[in-house]
Amino acid sequence: MAITKTDFINFTRCHRYVSLEELKKNRLDANITYQEYKEQEKQEKLEELLFSMIEVGEDGTEIDKTEIINKQLEAMMPYYKLVEEESGKISSKTFGGTSIYAEKTKDQMSFDFSKNGIHYLCYVDIFNETEDAINIIEVKATTSKKYLDLMGSMKRGGEKFPIFTRKNNIYYLKGDIDYPLEQEMSLETYEKQKEKLLDRFHLGKYIHDLAVQRYFIEGEMKESQNSFAKPIHYYLAVLNQYYIFDGTYENNRPVYHPDENNEELITFFQMDSLTKEYQKWIDLERVSLENSLFQSEIKKVPLGIYCGYKTQNCCKFFKPVCGKIIPEKNSSLSYVNNGFGFVKEDGTRIKGLDLINEGYIDLLDVPEEWITKKNHQIQRDCYEFHTQYINKEKISAALKTIQYPIYHLDFETFPCPVPRFRGEWPYIQSPFEFSLHIEKEPGICDKQKDNVIFLAETTQDEREEMIQLMLKYMDPEKGTLFAQNVPFEKGRIKEMAKIFPQYKEPLMKLYERGYDLLWLVNNNKELYKSLGFENEDLETFNFYDEHLSGSFSIKKTLPVFSDLSYKDLVVKNGTEAIVEYANYDKMSKEELALKKEALRIYCQQDTWAMVEILNALRKLVTTEKV
């Protein structure tokens, strides 16, 4: 085998990763077939999709609607192939010259070199050559948003400007080109924002990836003592957050013309200076990697940022090996909203995985004198004494603010990398199903009779039919739009109002009627302040049970309030729903009918779960236990 780019990135996470892989050292200088390389690359692309299929709610909270498993993500790979193809086409248009890219895999450019008995190898997604330059372009299934959100201003509260600027569909760091940067922000502010791109485990992940590729390319040049006669530039090709698809199809395939604002589906970020800055660290990573490769023992490594704990970039060895010491429930990491950790007796702060490294494993291992927040004390007491915390006054007051009928609503959505339908943009959460339970009066709702389900019959555009059915049963003039994590449902309604302006008025009236189940169970400071609560009440949970283990997700709250379970369902979660919908066209007529029924049952369960939890909360304010 050889050390590929993907290997290099994984093996340099920490010293232990290499040992756990049990590499055969006598094969480190061997060749690797193109097919073997592509299998590794496929896993890397799946991981990119993992990162990008996360919805950020309107309140800024992350809502993971996918619970991704790599095997299931294979259903998304055809869409990723479209990203690669379009990146190749648009690179030729943007840069000119000639491009070798994914469409021509057999001709894909590769670079390799050997050092200290180890063979290093990478292939290039897009190799573009013009009269003046060589352009190395790495395609990533992410959007431009994360980079364009890096902004600075001249003063606190002043107008903010991005640290990148665009010319001819290419973004450049303003500090790398002739640009009046200091008219928009101080150099200190600019550097602070730019620094975030040099963190390989967070925002700098894909830039580090491209920088490793640069290291391999330059490694070949040094080894061969040859170099290109033209300068080499390094780019990321990503999906353009501003692109709006016009819905054009030819031969059942989308045609991604520039949109009405002349935006392309793919845009490019030049990363010359950043990839150059990474080189010194990558060389140190290589030295460390080589040392690790030739050590036989599996060293224990402290848990840290490189583990990717609770991120989609989590190391595959974390749960089964390195992090298995962490209890699945009520660990020291289960204290809610505890990003800043705890202050120790000596005044130092301890947080995150350092708690585990220093032996604070269980929730009760954290010394009680470190507990300064009321919510943390509530969690601790409920766990230690097996009790429930209930603020009946707050729950009761909030229940009285709900207007009837209640529309318990849940969408199932398809977070496709490329837009599929008119008016969509990359990674829009495109609804293909909803379940609606209508509760006319408190507790008056029948699971079957008061339920409405829409499920797309095909993978074609059926959004307007969905809207029409929603508005047939949901009165925009009265009642309450009710959901768990209502920003997600509200976000979909707002998007449909934008795409279908003929329905904007009633849809936005529904949008304004949003109410979150979590406001009853967890908290909503503004709501309770308006109801006359003050001081500590505004900061604390309404309800807590040790089985929540620091989470108010519906999969944690439902078992506390109900015997309803998903374990016997054919479709058990949002990921499986995505996959079944994506695979419609691959199923026989009989299988498709069975899967559609499974999708209906699953989505119906999501809204019925909210009905049951709400009923349990009503009973809770008059009884001691659920």
User: What is the rounded distance in angstroms from the CA atom of residue 85 to the CA atom of residue 77?
Assistant: 12
Please report which residue ranges of 53-151 form alpha helices under DSSP H: 70-73, 77-95, 145-148
> Please, are residues 510 and 482 in contact by the beta-carbon 8 Å criterion?
no
pLDDT digits (tens, 9 = 90+) for 235-256: 999 999 999 999 999 998 999 9
Q: Lowest-confidence range among 57-61, 158-162, 206-210, 235-239? A: 57-61
pLDDT of 604: 97
Q: 């849809």: which residue's tokens?
A: 507
User: What is the rounded distance in angstroms from the CA atom of residue 153 to the CA atom of residue 179?
Assistant: 15
> Please, are residues 284 and 295 in contact by the beta-carbon 8 Å criterion?
no
User: What is the rounded distance in angstroms from the CA atom of residue 31 to the CA atom of residue 66?
Assistant: 37
Q: In b/e form, how buried is each residue of 475-503, taking b as 16+ CB within 10 angstroms?
A: ebeebbbbbbbbbbbbbbbbbbbebbeeb
pLDDT of 587: 93
pLDDT of 109: 85
CA distances in angstroms from 415 to 73, 253, 263, 418, listed in the order given? 11, 18, 21, 9
pLDDT of 341: 94
Burial class of residue 568 (count of CB atoms within 10 Å of its CB; 0-12, 13-18, 19+): exposed
Statement: residue 103 has pLDDT above 90: no
In degrees rounded to 5, what are phi and psi of residue 445?
-160, 125
pLDDT digits (tens, 9 = 90+) for 572-595: 988 889 989 999 999 999 999 999
> Please, are residues 85 and 102 in contact by the beta-carbon 8 Å criterion?
yes
User: What is the rounded distance in angstroms from the CA atom of residue 210 to the CA atom of residue 506?
Assistant: 47
Mean pLDDT of 592-606: 97
Statement: residue 444 has pLDDT above 70: yes
Q: In b/e form, how buried is each residue of 256-267, taking b as 16+ CB within 10 angstroms?
A: beebeeebbbbb
Q: In what order do the strands lie in the sheet with 406-415?
A: 451-455, 429-439, 406-415, 480-483, 514-516
Half-sphere exposure at residue 293, Cβ-oriented, CA atoms within 13 angstroms? 24
Provide the token pair at 606. 């999501």
User: What is the rounded distance in angstroms from the CA atom of residue 140 to the CA atom of residue 45?
Assistant: 8
> Please, are residues 589 and 457 in contact by the beta-carbon 8 Å criterion?
no
Q: Which residues pair with 112 in a beta bridge?
A: 121
User: What is the rounded distance in angstroms from the CA atom of residue 141 to the CA atom of residue 171?
Assistant: 17
Statement: residue 495 has pLDDT above 90: yes
Statement: residue 321 has pLDDT above 60: yes
* Dihedral sign of CA atoms 33, 35, 36, 38 in order: positive
Q: Where would I find the beta strands (DSSP E) of 440-477? A: 451-455
User: What is the rounded distance in angstroms from the CA atom of residue 298 to the CA atom of residue 403?
Assistant: 60
> Please, are residues 87 and 125 in contact by the beta-carbon 8 Å criterion?
yes
Radius of gyration for the alpha carbons in the chain, expressed in angstroms and rounded: 27
* Dihedral sign of CA atoms 363, 367, 369, 370 in order: negative
pLDDT of 81: 87
pLDDT of 575: 84
CA distances in angstroms from 485 to 57, 127, 204, 508, 554, listed in the order given? 8, 44, 29, 18, 9
DSSP 131: S
In degrees rounded to 5, what are phi and psi of residue 137?
-125, 120
Percent of the chain exceeding pLDDT 70 equals 89
User: What is the rounded distance in angstroms from the CA atom of residue 437 to the CA atom of residue 605?
Assistant: 10
User: What is the rounded distance in angstroms from the CA atom of residue 158 to the CA atom of residue 438?
Assistant: 46
The answer to whether the peptide bond before residue 405 is cis (omega within 30 degrees of 0) is yes
Statement: residue 108 has pLDDT above 80: no
pLDDT band at 144 (very low <50, low <70, confident <90, very high): very high
pLDDT digits (tens, 9 = 90+) for 352-383: 999 999 999 999 999 999 999 999 999 999 99
Question: What residue type is 622 in one-letter code?
Answer: T
In degrees rounded to 5, what are phi and psi of residue 257?
-65, 160
Residues 6+ apart with CB under 8 A from 302: 353, 357
Residue with more model confidence, 155 or 243: 243
Q: Average model confidence (pLDDT) for the chain?
A: 90
Element (H, E) at 335: none
Q: Among 393, 476, 480, which residue's Cα sits nearest to residue 445? A: 480
User: What is the rounded distance in angstroms from the CA atom of residue 243 to the CA atom of residue 23?
Assistant: 44
Provide the token pair at 582. 């994506």
User: What is the rounded distance in angstroms from the CA atom of residue 490 to the CA atom of residue 475?
Assistant: 15
- In this structure, the strands spanning 543-545 and 388-390 are antiparallel
> Please, are residues 388 and 625 in contact by the beta-carbon 8 Å criterion?
yes
Q: Among 426, 409, 416, which residue's Cα sits nearest to residue 579? A: 416
